[in-house]
């Protein structure tokens, strides 16, 4: 099993604080008040960036002032976007301490601290009362969760009855054997993919109902193609997912794209009810 410091290093790829400071400085974003949109190129730590977050948001029934949980919030980019879009309050938890530290700094810089609060936490044991939230979501986290049943049980526990849970992930495709390293795992030691069918039956077993699934392979393939093309250009953007994902981000993204094309993996979004 991977230990805590290897896990932190997997996600941060060395000195993430300095990389972000340098990139923001080159992009002219340091020492000024920011809009949440300024950070989209680096704070949406998943394939397809803000476009994937916007898509998931369109499927989430969130009302003003509701309390929503983000499980595996990363740097809090999706949380800031949803908090602004829906005028709701978001609590994010993530296992990577540096992401939480940077995410809360980003909340301050974008004047979102009253709407979004991020804390260190593990999806296996959520540090909240039963039925504390009016909805919840998790973007591209479940691929790393070995005990998927406990993950969904905890999500279920902290949601009020009648509310929603939404998530997106790379599921296991019919051919299996994804190509490593991938954006979420350098080796199979960190990757725990389930087929969409197994995920749906697990959700049903736990008590979730009205399970709506959308397969997103084509969108992800074209998203990866666009990103890989951008990175090959001479004048590649200063801000981008590479600032967070480090030097191997391009190789890992190519492997993820190939894995989808070869049906080894199968990305999807699910929205269901408790
Ligand atoms: C691909 S990133 C996605 C981050 C964020 N959801 C986003 O879309 O920008 C996956 C995140 O899951 C977090 N994570 C992995 N295992 C976790 C666990 N057991 N509990 C909480 N967070 C976890 C990682 O630290 C990382 O921030």
Where do the domains of the chain lie? 4-273
pLDDT digits (tens, 9 = 90+) for 32-54: 889 999 999 999 999 999 999 99
In this model, does residue 232 exceed pLDDT 80? no
Residue 235, Cβ density class (10 Å: 0-12 exposed, 13-18 middle, ≥19 buried) = exposed
pLDDT of 231 reads 65
pLDDT digits (tens, 9 = 90+) for 115-147: 999 999 999 999 999 999 999 999 999 999 999
CATH architecture of 4-273: 3-Layer(aba) Sandwich (3.40)
Matching residue, tokens 């397809």: 48
In this model, does residue 234 exceed pLDDT 70? no
Nearest residue by C-alpha to atom 17 in ligand 1: 95
Query: Which of the four pLDDT bands, split at 50, 70 and 90, describes residue 4?
Result: confident
Cα 183 from Cα 143, distance rounded (Å): 10
pLDDT of 185 reads 97
Cis peptide before 181 (omega within 30 of 0): yes
**By mean pLDDT, which of 24-28, 165-169, 178-182 is the weakest?**
24-28
For ligand 1, mutation pick of 144, 147, 151, 183 (most atoms within 8 Å of CB): 144
Q: In what order do the strands lie in the sheet with 116-120?
A: 116-120, 89-94, 67-71, 135-139, 164-172, 265-273, 209-215
Please report the atom of ligand 1 found closest to the CA of residue 44: 9
- Measured in angstroms, how far is the CA atom of residue 182 from the centroid of ligand 1? 14
pLDDT (mean) for 84-106: 98
Nearest residue by C-alpha to atom 14 in ligand 1: 72
On average, the pLDDT of the chain sits at 95
Residues with CB under 6 A from ligand 1: 11, 44-46, 72-74, 77-78, 93-96, 99, 122-124, 139-141, 144-145, 184
Angle ∠(256,260,262) on CA atoms, nearest 5: 115
pLDDT of 128 reads 98
pLDDT (mean) for 214-227: 94
- Measured in angstroms, how far is the CA atom of residue 27 from the centroid of ligand 1? 26
pLDDT of 97 reads 97
pLDDT of 230 reads 72
Show the tokens assigned to 189: 């030691």
pLDDT of 68 reads 98
pLDDT of 122 reads 97
pLDDT of 32 reads 85
């Amino acid at each position: 099993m991977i230990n805590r410091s290897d896990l932190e290093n997997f996600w941060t790829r060395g000195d993430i604080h300095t990389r972000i400071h340098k990139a923001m400085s080159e992009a002219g974003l340091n020492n000024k008040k920011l809009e949440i949109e300024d950070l989209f190129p680096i704070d949406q730590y998943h394939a397809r960036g803000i476009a994937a977050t916007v898509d998931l948001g369109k499927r989430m029934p969130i009302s003003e002032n509701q309390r929503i949980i983000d499980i595996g919030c990363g740097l809090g980019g999706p949380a800031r976007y949803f908090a602004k879009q829906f005028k709701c309050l978001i609590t994010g938890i993530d296992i990577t301490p540096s992401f939480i530290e940077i995410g809360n700094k980003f909340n301050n810089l974008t004047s979102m601290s009253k709407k979004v609060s991020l804390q260190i936490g593990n999806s296996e044991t959520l540090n909240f009362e039963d039925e504390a939230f009016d909805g919840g979501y998790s973007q591209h986290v479940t691929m790393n969760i070995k005990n998927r049943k406990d993950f969904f049980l905890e999500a279920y526990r902290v949601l009020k009855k009648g509310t929603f849970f939404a998530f997106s992930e790379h599921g296991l495709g019919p051919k299996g054997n994804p190509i490593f390293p991938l954006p979420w795992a350098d080796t199979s030691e960190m990757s725990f993919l389930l087929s969409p069918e197994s995920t749906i039956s697990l959700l049903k077993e736990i008590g979730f109902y009205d399970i709506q699934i959308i397969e997103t392979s084509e969108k992800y393939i074209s998203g990866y193609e666009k990103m890989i093309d951008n990175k090959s250009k001479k004048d590649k953007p200063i801000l981008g997912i590479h600032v967070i994902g480090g030097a191997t981000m391009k190789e890992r993204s190519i492997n993820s794209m190939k894995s989808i094309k070869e049906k080894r993996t199968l990305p999807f979004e699910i929205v269901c009810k408790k």
